[in-house]
Structure 1
Amino acid sequence: MTTIDPAESARAYLAYHLKRLRDERQWSQPTLGSKIHISGSLISGIETMQRRPTRKGLQALDRAFGLDQFFAPLYPRILEETGLPAGFPEYADAEAEAGMIRIYQNFVVAGLFQTSEYAQAVLAAGEQPGKLEKLVNTRLERQALLNREDPPVIIALLDASTLRRPFGGREVMRGQFERLLELAALPHVYIHIVPENAELCPEGAFTLLSSPGEPDVSYAEMAGGWGQLIDDADYVAKLGILFELIRSKALTAEDSVIAIRKVLEEPS
């Protein structure tokens, strides 16, 4: 097993000391996870630097270990290291805690569904190789919620143009279509294709996050990968209505699978 150097980064510092403190108390990863209401696999992911912790998660670790502001102050430094645009880390935290995620995408396949090759092609424009790798890895890390023990229900409305806009070439797109079909087979994922002749023209992509006992929040995307997490109740309600209007024009989940498979089977 590779030894982690805690001086390498804030994330490495977290991973090293989390494992050290856990071992000192002879807690297994599931045992620690149960104390802060997350899975043992997430603890493992943080200790191997494969998963990014949330602010609430770091605060919970401080409480579990009886520490005063040891892990929690690392959060801003960890965000800086991700290279993510302003506003997105807060969204990623909210996304990880949501019970339902409703997505509308009118330009690219939703980030939660992207393959690494497709994500790299989408994010490559104008990015330095080092930063691009971080952005792709962070996007893929978010996808862990798809396979966790208590995954959120995900309803994704993808404009038909997302299937026709080539990123990375034919083989990359083929891999992305296969990934969409795999996800559509999951019992908690519903993918709907919005036909090109649907008489709706939303001005941009957006996501709605819902959890029991919590007000809905939304994330509105902007150019250049920027976006904003919005909790204004009136605005979020309007996006909820817009989402349902778009869904009323979309294909059923079953017909959407047929549409994706049809594009996949088209000759090169």
Structure 2
Amino acid sequence: MTLPEPRESARGMYAFHLKRLREEHGLSQPALGKKVHVSASLISGIENCTRTPSPKLSAAFDAYFGIPEFFTALQPRVVEEIGLPAGFLEYTDVEAEANMIKLYENFVIHGLLQTEEYARSVLSAGNRPDKIDRLVATRVERQAILYREEPPMLIALLDEFALHRPFGGREVMRRQYEHLLKLAAEPRVALHMVPGDAELCPEGAFAILTSSESPPMGYVESAGRKGLLIEAGQHLAELEVLFELIRNKALSDTDTERMIRDLMEKS
């Protein structure tokens, strides 16, 4: 695979200097991974421009190599070049450490719950073809938190509209429904549909993340692929109240499963 030129690409520059510094310090990819508490495959992926560095990892590289604001300053340009929403990788850093995730999604099935085929169809709208594979990989990689040894508790509220909106055709949707049923059977996943006639108007998708290591955080999505992390305070408290209001209107887990099975039969 031909890597982007460092002079022409932020990803290429990030990868070039990470590899250069690693080798100058006499470290293998696994050894560097241990130094900054990530896997060797992630180090390899960043050096090969197939994985995206997060702000937290970039700060760890800066601290380890003793070069303040180098990788940290370069990382936003990498994200911009790839086409990820603003604020997204900060969110995934918090998401990866959360032991409780509460989310509401109103237009599409949430990224943590998507099949790869469904994700590809969703991401194909409005993105250049050369970015799709990387965006899909980033989305699928996030889902690993649901299968780790101690997964977070996930409470997902999905608007009924999100299930009816077709992406990728009937077979893609059918496999997506099957995937939702499989996830709903997991002991630490609670999936609830919000019926279309529910009298509420949340206005947008959002998530609330709780961790034993840090204060709770919120994440709000808006038009134009923008995302905003919300720290503890009045806004986050309002999101907590809104989540409970939506949950009170949602179907039970049994009725949710029945709805998804009905959709599968019709697909």
Structure 2-normalised TM-score? 0.81
CA distance in 1 between counterparts of 2:255 and 2:114 reads: 21
Tell me which residue corresponds to 1:167: 167
Per-residue deviation at 1:192? Answer: 1.8
CA distance in 1 between counterparts of 2:128 and 2:72 reads: 30
Per-residue deviation at 1:113? Answer: 1.9
Amino acid corresponding to residue 117 of structure 2 in structure 1: E
Per-residue deviation at 1:233? Answer: 0.8
Tell me which residue corresponds to 1:84: 84
Q: 1:138 to 1:63 in 2, by over 3 A?
A: same
CA distance in 1 between counterparts of 2:3 and 2:16 reads: 6
SS of the residue 2:61 aligns to: helix
Of 202-211 and 79-88, deviating more is 79-88
Q: 1:153 to 1:40 in 2, by over 3 A?
A: farther
CA distance in 2 between counterparts of 1:252 and 1:26 reads: 56
SS of the residue 2:241 aligns to: helix
Q: 1:165 to 1:134 in 2, by over 3 A?
A: same
CA distance in 1 between counterparts of 2:127 and 2:3 reads: 28
Aligned residues: 266
Q: Is the contact made by 2:22 and 2:32 (CA closer than 8 Å) also made in structure 1?
A: yes
Tell me which residue corresponds to 2:32: 32
CA distance in 2 between counterparts of 1:33 and 1:187 reads: 31
Amino acid corresponding to residue 229 of structure 1 in structure 2: L
Per-residue deviation at 1:240? Answer: 0.8
Tell me which residue corresponds to 1:50: 50
Q: Is the contact made by 2:4 and 2:11 (CA closer than 8 Å) also made in structure 1?
A: no
Tell me which residue corresponds to 1:236: 236
Tell me which residue corresponds to 2:196: 196
CA distance in 1 between counterparts of 2:153 and 2:27 reads: 31
Tell me which residue corresponds to 2:102: 102
Q: 1:71 to 1:108 in 2, by over 3 A?
A: same
Q: Deviations over 1:40-69 (max 9, x none)?
A: 443344344333221121111232334444
Q: Is the contact made by 1:51 and 1:141 (CA closer than 8 Å) also made in structure 2?
A: no
Tell me which residue corresponds to 2:210: 210
CA distance in 1 between counterparts of 2:47 and 2:208 reads: 30
Q: Is the contact made by 1:209 and 1:217 (CA closer than 8 Å) also made in structure 2?
A: yes
Tell me which residue corresponds to 1:74: 74
CA distance in 2 between counterparts of 1:41 and 1:248 reads: 42
Q: Deviations over 1:119-151 (max 9, x none)?
A: 343344444434555544443343344445554
Q: Is the contact made by 1:91 and 1:219 (CA closer than 8 Å) also made in structure 2?
A: yes
SS of the residue 1:102 aligns to: strand
Q: Is the contact made by 2:109 and 2:162 (CA closer than 8 Å) also made in structure 1?
A: yes
SS of the residue 1:109 aligns to: coil
RMSD over aligned CA atoms reads 3.1
Tell me which residue corresponds to 1:226: 226
CA distance in 1 between counterparts of 2:80 and 2:225 reads: 16
CA distance in 2 between counterparts of 1:218 and 1:259 reads: 29
Identity of aligned residues (%): 56
Q: Is the contact made by 2:36 and 2:61 (CA closer than 8 Å) also made in structure 1?
A: yes
Q: Is the contact made by 1:5 and 1:16 (CA closer than 8 Å) also made in structure 2?
A: no
Structure 1-normalised TM-score? 0.81
Per-residue deviation at 1:207? Answer: 1.1
Per-residue deviation at 1:239? Answer: 0.9
SS of the residue 2:215 aligns to: strand
SS of the residue 1:49 aligns to: coil
Tell me which residue corresponds to 1:9: 9
Q: Is the contact made by 2:86 and 2:225 (CA closer than 8 Å) also made in structure 1?
A: no
